[in-house]
């Protein structure tokens, strides 16, 4: 009986922990339109997991890419996706559309929260 209770307690603890961690992600939206990044600068809190919801509203494929963050995601026209980034140290991190390199790069700016 104790083994069963221990298993259920552990399962409940895992569910609660994963729910709390999922809720703590900071979510931002990014529109990619034929090389244009909207917004071009994304401000996020440092030391917090980041979730970027990406929408390709253009007529050609796009690729969200950041060599600094080691992330890339290809989206077909009209597609939506999500990129999750581990907590960042304060600083500036560039990203770009790898299919439209002639367009300006974007930037993620991670800053400490003012207390």
Q: How far apart are alpha carbons 93 and 66 in whole angstroms?
A: 8
Q: What is the value of pTM for the model shown?
A: 0.75
Q: How does residue 113 score in pLDDT terms, banded at 50, 70 and 90?
A: confident
pLDDT in tens, 34-56: 999 999 999 999 999 999 999 99
pLDDT in tens, 61-86: 999 999 999 999 999 999 999 999 99
Strands (E), the chain: 26-33, 36-38, 41-45, 50-56, 62-66, 71-75, 80-85, 91-97, 106-111
Q: By CB neighbour count within 10 A (0-12 exposed, 13-18 middle, 19+ buried), where does 8 fall? A: exposed
Is the Cα torsion angle 61, 94, 30, 51 positive or negative in sign?
Answer: positive
List Cβ neighbours of 79 (8 Å cut-off, separation of 6 or more). 55, 56
């Amino acid at each position: 009986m104790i083994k069963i209770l221990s298993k259920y307690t552990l399962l409940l603890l895992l569910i609660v922990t994963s729910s709390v961690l999922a809720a703590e992600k900071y979510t931002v939206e990014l529109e990619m339109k034929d090389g244009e990044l909207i917004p071009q600068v994304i401000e996020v809190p440092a030391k917090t997991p980041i979730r970027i919801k990406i929408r390709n509203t253009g007529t050609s494929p796009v690729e969200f890419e950041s060599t600094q963050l080691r992330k890339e995601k290809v989206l077909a026209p009209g597609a939506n996706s999500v990129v999750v980034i581990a907590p960042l140290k304060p600083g500036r991190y560039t990203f770009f559309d790898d299919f439209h390199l002639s367009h300006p790069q974007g930037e993620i700016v991670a800053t400490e929260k003012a207390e």
